[in-house]
Amino acid sequence: MDAKLILGTVQFGMPYGINNTVGQPSMEDAFKILNRAHEAGIHTLDTAKAYGNAMQVIGDYHRQSPNRFAIINKFHTTSLLSDAVVKEELDLLSISSYEAYLFHAYSDYETSTTQVWNELVRLKEKGLVNQIGVSVYTNQQLASVIEDPRVDLVQVPYNLLDNAFQRAQLFAEANAKGKCIHTRSAYLQGLFFKDPSKLPARLQALQPYLNDIHRIANKYRTSVSQLALQYVLREKLIRNVLIGVDSMLQLETNISDSQHQLPDACFAEIDAIQVSEVNLLNPANW
């Protein structure tokens, strides 16, 4: 199992993803998924208040299981940020501190006040938060964040289309400045698994690129899921890769895919894919 993997929990709190036909798993199924993930070596979870009752599910799991997960949480600056609020969250999750605490969106970071930053620094000094981070979408946002010495970690999309052509230079700059890089959207919310000929009208422009992905997967006799996960795991500048699952079967597939090795030539062909319709790489624009 690749220790770089982090399990996202948005699916535990709400139905999520363009290709999700399962819906939100039951509490029992969520606990089974967490048991299996921990057994497989995934020991960090990513969550947020905005993810329905996902935090409650994690806390309930911690209260009935000897297993423990490190937690990355995200916050909006429209909500009160204080010791009391964070301690209440930690109690709900049944943990003593956050591995990382992230501005949930770049807009939260961009509009953050001195008061917010002072509180974040206090939380870090008290050991309630280990790292301060920002979740971003675009290269412009990433470039801005990596210039800020107060930011320890940045979470950014990276996948077969939002690939090295789009991100490699900025990843190198972030690494040079000592930033920890976490990536998400390895499967572009399940878009890679859809039939390229049956895309909704608003995504038709991505069809040629999806055809390229399927062609490359066929050429190297691998699945699209293996190709997608291996592509992000192989990037040495990425510290951790966030994935989400809505079923045990999906988790087992991810575990298997993380152990599958592909030749460098395969990834070079992915790196050569150059999406010009960059706005369509952000699911918020779908």
Domain-wise residue ranges, the chain: 5-285
Give the pair of three-digit tokens for residue 133: 């981070």
Give the predicted TM-score (pTM) of the model: 0.93
Amino acid type, 181: I
Tell me if 42 sits within 8 A of 6, measured CB to CB.
yes
Only one residue has tokens 């964040």, namely: 145
Amino acid type, 89: E
Phi, psi of 239 (to 5 degrees): -75, -50
* Neighbouring C-beta atoms of residue 263, cutoff 10 Å: 9
* pLDDT values of the chain reduced to their tens digit, one per residue, 286 residues: 568 999 999 999 976 544 545 568 999 999 999 999 999 999 999 999 999 999 999 999 999 999 999 999 999 998 889 999 999 999 999 999 999 999 999 999 999 999 999 999 999 999 999 999 999 999 999 999 999 999 999 999 999 999 999 999 999 999 999 999 999 999 998 999 999 999 999 999 999 999 999 999 999 999 999 999 999 999 999 999 999 998 999 999 999 999 988 999 999 999 999 999 999 999 999 9
Among 155, 158, 170, CA closest to 281: 158
Q: What's the CATH number for 5-285? A: 3.20.20.100
* Neighbouring C-beta atoms of residue 240, cutoff 10 Å: 22
Only one residue has tokens 């969250």, namely: 89
